[in-house]
Amino acid sequence: MVMRVRMRRCFIHIGTHKTGTTSLQHALHANRRKLDALSYLYPRSGRLAIAREGHHNIAWELSRDRRFRRRFGTVDKLLTEIAATPHDVVLSSEDFGSSVYHAEEFASFVTRLKRLMLDITLIVYFRNQIDYAKSLYLELLAFGFDVSFGEFLTELTDHGRFVWRDWIFPFDYYDFFERLRSIDGVTVVARSYDVTRAALIDDFCSILGLAAADLIAGEEVRRNAQIPSVKAITQYYHNSTRGRWPRPAERAALISLSRWDELQFDMTRQSKLRLIERFAATNVRLSQLTGIPVFDSMRPERLKSDGGKNVFMENIFSSDLVELVNERMSR
């Protein structure tokens, strides 16, 4: 009689950035004991002391990211933790998205997981490129980002991805999906964040084979809320002046410039059309491969004319900001 060894499952949630990853990681961390009772392991190895929810340190080791620290857990330690349990495994870090571009290292990681008798499923969420570009840019400001919004758009449209420091942010989703499919022996599950964002945790549970009630988000979930305009503009000014915080008169000028605090940052219709044109064909190819509907926000007929009460990011996050501040101060 032939004895069959049960193949455990390993789900690797790889982002992308700005698709509710923190919310999902918080829910996984907050419910780790309940998951254990349901025979799912959300490993401790690779999760940071500060941002303890996601397995960022593992992603950083694979990417040779300068933020990697051995004390937060290595791939070797993670594999030892996984080998010590019969449970299915759930890993999550949006920075696995950068690791995918280090193809050899990521493929080796998958191979080592498979040696532990694990079936590997990669889970990825995609967000329409217009909202993704806006949200990602504003988040990067907190990390010292001083590239103008115009330069940022040019980089990502020219190359289909944006590279800064050790991060690689995909924007050509078809290319990224093909990179995932090329990894030997994995299943890839792709989802539209635009479609699932209202019930993201429920959707994630369905992929894992859990009931929606098995993963409760809790009250501390951080959402993709827009940074207040005065804070964002002040941060960009700080970054653009080589780390100098604005003096009182400069801050008053910045507040005057950011008088739209109750309004929303947006990009011009021209920039949106530029993104739509750049990614129209690859978004259609992604849809054909995955069944993800073409993003509604990436349809030209859905765009409104410029105007109203929006703050255009091309105008404010530019090399002209310091000049605008000086002009306001001289009035």
Cβ atoms of 264 and 307 within 8 Å: the answer is no
Q: What is the mean pLDDT of residues 302-329?
A: 78
CATH number of the domain encompassing residue 194: 3.40.50
121-137 exposure pattern, b = at least 16 Cβ within 10 A, e = fewer: bbbbbbbbbbbbbbbbb
Q: CB 307: neighbour CB atoms within 10 A? A: 7
CA atoms of 217 and 23, how far apart (whole Å): 7
pLDDT tier, 237 (very low <50, low <70, confident <90, very high otherwise): confident
In a domain, residue 147? The reply is no
Distance linking the first and last C-alpha atoms of the chain: 90
In a domain, residue 94? The reply is yes
Q: What is the mean pLDDT of residues 88-106?
A: 97
In a domain, residue 181? The reply is yes
The whole-number pLDDT of residue 262 equals 54
Cβ atoms of 175 and 109 within 8 Å: the answer is no
147: pLDDT strictly greater than 70: yes
State the pairing for strand pair 186-192/40-41. unpaired
pLDDT tier, 5 (very low <50, low <70, confident <90, very high otherwise): low
pLDDT tier, 331 (very low <50, low <70, confident <90, very high otherwise): low
pTM: 0.92
In a domain, residue 154? The reply is no
In a domain, residue 13? The reply is yes
121: pLDDT strictly greater than 80: yes
75: pLDDT strictly greater than 90: yes
The whole-number pLDDT of residue 51 equals 58
305: pLDDT strictly greater than 80: no
Span 123-143, pLDDT tens digits: 999 999 999 999 999 999 999
Q: What is the mean pLDDT of residues 219-247?
A: 76
The whole-number pLDDT of residue 63 equals 96
In a domain, residue 308? The reply is no
Span 257-301, pLDDT tens digits: 766 555 678 899 999 999 999 999 999 999 999 999 999 999 998
The whole-number pLDDT of residue 3 equals 46
In a domain, residue 242? The reply is no
In a domain, residue 178? The reply is yes
* Overall domain count for the chain: 1
Where in the sequence is the domain holding 94, given as residue range(s)? 8-127+166-214
